[in-house]
A and B are shown apart, each in its own frame.
Chain A
Amino acid sequence: MGMTLTEKIMARAANLPIVRPGEIVYPEADLATIHDLYVVEADTQLRALGVEKPWNPDRVFVCFDHDIIPQSVAVANRAKNIRDIVQRWEVKHFYGPGRGQGHIFPMEIGLVRPGMCVQAYDIHVTNYGAVGCLGISLVFEFPAVLAMGSHWYRVPETIQIELDGKFSPGVTIRDLAALIIRQIGPEQADYRVFEYTGAALESLGIDARVKLCNLPIEIGAKSAIIPADELVSNWFKERNLNPFDPIKSDPDANYFSLYQFDLSAVIPMVALPPLPDNVVPIEEAEGIPVHAAYLGSCAGDQYEDMAEAAAVLQGRKVAPGVRMIINPGSKEVAERCVREGIMEVFLEAGACMGPPGCGPCALGRGGPLADGEVCIATVTRNDTGRMGSRKAEIYLSSAATVAASAVAGKIFDPREFLN
């Protein structure tokens, strides 16, 4: 019996010829990633263990994407402290504020590559599955990786998800990703890896693939991955990045289960508060007045999200009484938006531009919600308090639906603007 892509990556990183689901292995991180919210705590934990610097500073990535611009002296002091720690750790891959979202730009610069095993503090590391990299998170156990380069994992089972067909106009990848997590649900998803296959992948670029790899973690999946194909190879070539050896699941690999989705049958979807898998067709939420519309977060801040929103906002204005905030995912995304006139569309429409990074998805940083407000957003989660007040409500949707709702002042089907 062969191995799935995930099993192959874990076996290689654990220095084992073969691994099987259920086994406990210690894969070494090809890259260990951590962001500004956790560096100080990690350093405190490491020093308590007598560890002054990571096991291999060349394999450590630190970025500022949560508190991009400090909003208080306390946060500014912490940022200063982080810079001192990063220097003492001798971190090779350190990126300060303004560079972008740590779950987006490392792919653009080729730091994250197909076949890698990246281990992270933050759960949304699964985004890297878009380029065929296995991203796994440890949260509070992450210092073990910084200290030793590895930690234990139970090899997960893989769920295969086959995608076919093409979207109809006004329907986008976020709608599909939301539908997938609703259909599979937390019970089936728990500790399993989603591997996407199927003919539809030919029409889904890296930006779309990121959405497919981002949402499953919200229902407890361990990770999500798409085998790197010609599309990824071309993406690497366009950026002058070193080529890679493609790997994929063996034909006789064992999957836990198989799901099939037809893109042409998907319609715009909205996740109702307070759970990301409370996913319903948009007609069940249409008409709910919104006070804020937010385009950003590692689930909705890439070029295609920006272009999708711009297609709706072109020649239209954000409704009076609605504030629209947009944080592009990276410097590259922001630059392309400027070059292609998308930034102008946003500014003309009356949206506020924030710096590249997590934006208000990170507990409301740079634009919190007030008591009683309703927000429609492309963010990762809609738990109570996720974007500020515990008395605010968050609806999740595609970039097109966020933009259409910003214009209409209420949750609105983007197909009415695009058709």
Chain B
Amino acid sequence: MNWVMEGRCWKFGDNLSLDDDILEFSKVFVEGVRVSDPEFLKKHVFTNLIPDFPKRTLPGDIVVAGTRFGQGNPHIYGLLGMVALGVGLISESVPHFTYRMIVAAGLPALPFCPRIGEEMKNGDKLRVDFSTGKIENLTSAFTVDAEPLPPALREIIELGGSIPALKKRLKERKAEKPYENRISL
């Protein structure tokens, strides 16, 4: 995958909820059953805030959010939809279950960029290297180095998220070190 993304800034505020703002939870259900197909989910991403968001975004565009992006019940569907749209995420902060889900979904992200919103306007042209944390606003010539996700988690994102990563671990199981420090039951 390409860790460097170049595209437009889609700026959002603080406290975006997983179940309403990012992807309305009721839209995950078709005839009472949850659908986790990213191609289906991507049609509903952010549509409660910007109705034609999925149609207008292009791969490489960057979602720039405020603090506590992805608050609420830990449902992964909106993040899977973002991956299918090919967008990246920069946020000022995320709750810890959302941090886990970013990795599980395989979403390129810089989740902890304090006050980044002050330097970004809707439609600005951005270049972001998610492996190093370098954020460039090409429109305003602003540059900052954010903390990238740790290499061990970037590896999971590189593989496509938690399920492909688990498949790989299962295949390599024999290679893992035996565990000798168990507490006896």
Contact = CB atoms under 8 A, between A and B. Distances in A.
A15 B179 contact: yes
Interface stretch (A148-156, A232-240, A294-302, A403-411): A148-156
A93 B185 CA distance: 10
Contacts of A15: 177, 179-181
Contact of A30 (B156, B170, B177, B183): B183
Contacts of B50: none
B166 A113 contact: no
Contacts of B156: 152
Interface stretch (B56-64, B97-105, B116-124): B97-105
B38 interface: no
Interface in B76-105: 76, 95-97, 99-100, 103-104
B115 interface: no
B74 interface: yes
Category for how many chain A residues contact B: 35 or more
A116 interface: yes
A97 interface: no
A24 B185 contact: no
Contact of A190 (B95, B103, B152): B95
Contact of A140 (B76, B95, B173, B180): B76
B162 A141 contact: yes
B150 interface: yes
Interface in B171-185: 173, 177, 179-183, 185
A50 B169 CA distance: 13
Interface string A208-239: 00000000000010100000000000000000
A31 B181 CA distance: 13
Contacts of A113: 183, 185
Contacts of A59: 185
Category for how many chain B residues contact A: 20 to 34
A28 B179 contact: yes
A76 B3 CA distance: 49
A139 B95 CA distance: 15
Contacts of A50: 170
B170 A147 contact: yes
Contacts of B163: 49
B177 A49 contact: no
A191 B185 contact: no
A144 B162 contact: yes
B153 to A, nearest CB: 6
B55 interface: no
A115 B183 contact: yes
Contact of B183 (A22, A23, A116, A220): A116
A144 B179 contact: no
Nearest to A149: B179
Name which of A49, A50, A93, A154 has the most chain B CB atoms within 10 A of its CB: A154
B96 A191 contact: yes
A116 B185 CA distance: 10
Interface string A20-50: 0011100010110000000000000000011
Nearest to A93: B185
A280 interface: no
Nearest to A153: B100
Contacts of B166: 49, 143-144, 147-148
B114 to A, nearest CB: 13
B91 to A, nearest CB: 13
Contact of B152 (A12, A24, A147, A149): A24
A220 B173 contact: no
Contacts of A149: 179
A148 B170 contact: yes
Given A15-B180, A30-B183, A113-B183, A141 B104 contact: yes
A249 B150 CA distance: 26
Q: Which 8 A-B pairs have the closest CB atoms?
A: A191-B96, A24-B152, A28-B179, A30-B183, A24-B150, A116-B183, A12-B181, A144-B166
18 contacts: A15-B177, A15-B180, A24-B150, A28-B179, A28-B182, A30-B183, A50-B170, A51-B170, A140-B76, A141-B104, A141-B162, A143-B166, A144-B166, A147-B166, A148-B169, A152-B103, A186-B95, A220-B96
Given A15-B180, A152-B156, 7 more contacts: A15-B177, A139-B97, A140-B74, A141-B104, A152-B103, A190-B95, A220-B96
Interface of A: 12-13, 15, 22-24, 28, 30-31, 49-51, 58-59, 93, 111, 113, 115-116, 138-141, 143-144, 147-149, 152, 154, 186, 190-191, 220, 222
